[in-house]
Amino acid sequence: MLSDYQALAQQFTREDAGKIATTDIDRAIDLAVVRYSEDRERIKVEDLTPTDANTLPLPTGWETGFSALRSLEYPIGNVPPTMIDPARYSLYQSPASTVIKTLDGVSVAAAAVRASYTIKHAVTSSLDTIPLQHREPVACWAAASLCDQLATFYAGQSDSTMQADTVNHQSKSAEFSARARALRKRYLDELGVEEKRNAAAGVVVNLDLPDSRGQDRLTHAAAYR
């Protein structure tokens, strides 16, 4: 359940300075669930009643911006199932709505059509559709997003006038950036997802600023004066 992911994300982030709020953790978990839903599809099946010979409404569980139509079975009940060729139907968007249109003379007016489509996984206080063996990888992806945020936060603190604080902030930024990469890799490895499929969720920028005297810093040269 959600509390399990919250605890794991905090554990994997290993941040004890209070920089991450509960809302940040929940948002990171939401993003991780969306990513997991893309990598491991959740299929929903629904029977649709045609509105005319070539038009079907979208399923009631359709999630705009995420769902994708995977198959249409018509007529229902044949063994083996009779599937409409994907090349013979498509989504059609009008100013009023989006519907499913059958093409090339495919008529579906006589009976219901069984649609299979994707929806997002759900993680709430009462529902968890992610398999138990994938709970930790999903929490790793959430923790990686949190580590990216922390790396960016500490990178933004690197202009301190106190040299010791500057070095400490740079060290923390590098530490959290490395941790984010390791956590993201664990997710990809455990789910068997190709790394090239991965899109970076954040970028840490190393600000090459001069020190308080306008000189190059010990750790790196200034980019401008």
Q: Which residues contact 157 (CB under 8 A, 6 or more apart)?
A: 165, 169
- Supply the pLDDT for residue 197: 56
Q: Report the distance separating Cα 181 and Cα 225, nearest Å.
A: 32
Alpha-carbon distance of 53 to 56, in angstroms, equals: 9
Residue 122, pLDDT above cutoff 90: yes
Contact 74, 108 (CB under 8 A): yes
Q: pTM for the full model?
A: 0.79
- Farthest-apart Cα atoms in the chain, separation: 82
Give me the pLDDT at residue 137, please: 98
The first and second tokens of residue 66, run together, are 């995420």
DSSP structure string for 106-169: ---TTS-EEEEEEE---B-SS-B-S-GGGHHHHHHHHHHHHHHHHHHHHHHTTT-SSHHHHHHH
Give Cα 9 distance to the centre of its chain. Answer: 15
Per-residue pLDDT tens over the stretch 65-98: 999 999 999 999 999 999 999 999 999 999 999 9
pLDDT tens for each residue of 190-213: 999 987 655 444 433 343 444 444
Q: What is the mean pLDDT of the chain?
A: 85
Instruction: Tell me which amino acid residue 190 is.
Output: E
Query: Is the pLDDT assigned to residue 178 strictly greater than 80?
Result: yes
Strand order in the sheet with 69-73: 42-48, 113-119, 69-73
Local structure of residue 17 (DSSP, 8 states): S
Confidence of residue 154 (pLDDT cuts 50, 70, 90): confident
